[in-house]
Amino acid sequence: MHATATIDMVDSISSPATTGQPIPQAILDAAAIAAYIAGNSWPTWDPYIAARPDLLLAGRAVSITLTARARARCFDIETGGGSPAEAPGWYHDFADRTFGLPWLYTYASQVQTVINMMSAAGIPRSDYLLWSAHPSGGRHICGPAAYGTGHGCGYPQADGTQYGLLPGNCDISIMFAYCFAPLPNPPNTEDNMLACGLNAQGAFHVFRENPDGSIDYGIQAPGANGWSGGVAGQHVAELKPFAPKPGS
């Protein structure tokens, strides 16, 4: 999977409705959150969504269930929660696809078992996202080239990894940005414009930075009022050159 844009995601069990504590500051500040909607004694989904309706609307709030018989975007496979064998059934009958592919969460050491269970049920790896828990490997996403550290962590490729703790009894994860629905790109402004220029044919090209850190560009042909040619979500290295060099 070729991707480098990432988004930090925070989860916790703390809230006034669950542990009698304030909603953690890290949740209030998060770019993305995950919260329990079913299956345990800490249903943080409702209080967190009440506090962060913006993340729900943006597809950056991930609902988690610990039971295989509840609707959520993510099935939590761990001791006291779901089992690898339950993953295919949950995936077919309960996974919430409103904001994209279903997620499976499990220990890094159990990821291969989950992949094998899904594969045996005819569900290819490309049809779901894997959120691994690997707290001893530093800030990384599990895989043969462990994004963030540059060397393999010994576990299969994940789409994001829960790797550490934040104050307020919170977990921190780093997720590839494709795990979330893309945000609509804002209009070009002086604040998000990185570079601009006219090519040899007189077309105006603008590079801009999006809220998720990706870079795209737009082209305005000579005499045109609108924009075309934007390539949302692609990095500059993947974009084609502006135009033939003058005189070439």
Binding positions for Zn ion, rule: CB under 5 A: 108, 134, 137, 142, 153, 155
- Give the H or E element holding residue 111: helix 111-120
> 39 or 137: whose CB is closer to Zn ion?
137
- Smallest distance from Zn ion to CB 218, Å: 38
> 153 or 206: whose CB is closer to Zn ion?
153
Backbone angles phi, psi at 236, to 5 degrees: -55, -40
> 155 or 178: whose CB is closer to Zn ion?
155
Separation of alpha carbons 163 and 114, rounded Å: 19
Long-range contact list for 92-99, CB < 8 A, 24+ apart? 93/69, 94/65, 94/68, 94/69, 94/70, 95/71, 95/128, 96/63, 96/71, 96/72, 97/73, 98/59, 98/73, 99/59, 99/73, 99/180, 99/181
- Smallest distance from Zn ion to CB 165, Å: 16
Side chain identity at residue 100, one-letter code: G
Instruction: Decide the pairing of beta strands 61-65 and 33-38.
Output: parallel
- Smallest distance from Zn ion to CB 3, Å: 17
- Smallest distance from Zn ion to CB 133, Å: 9
> 157 or 185: whose CB is closer to Zn ion?
157
> 59 or 156: whose CB is closer to Zn ion?
156
Backbone angles phi, psi at 52, to 5 degrees: -130, 60
> 173 or 214: whose CB is closer to Zn ion?
173
A 10 A CB-CB count for 28 gives: 14
- Smallest distance from Zn ion to CB 161, Å: 6
> Look-up: residue for tokens 């039971």?
67
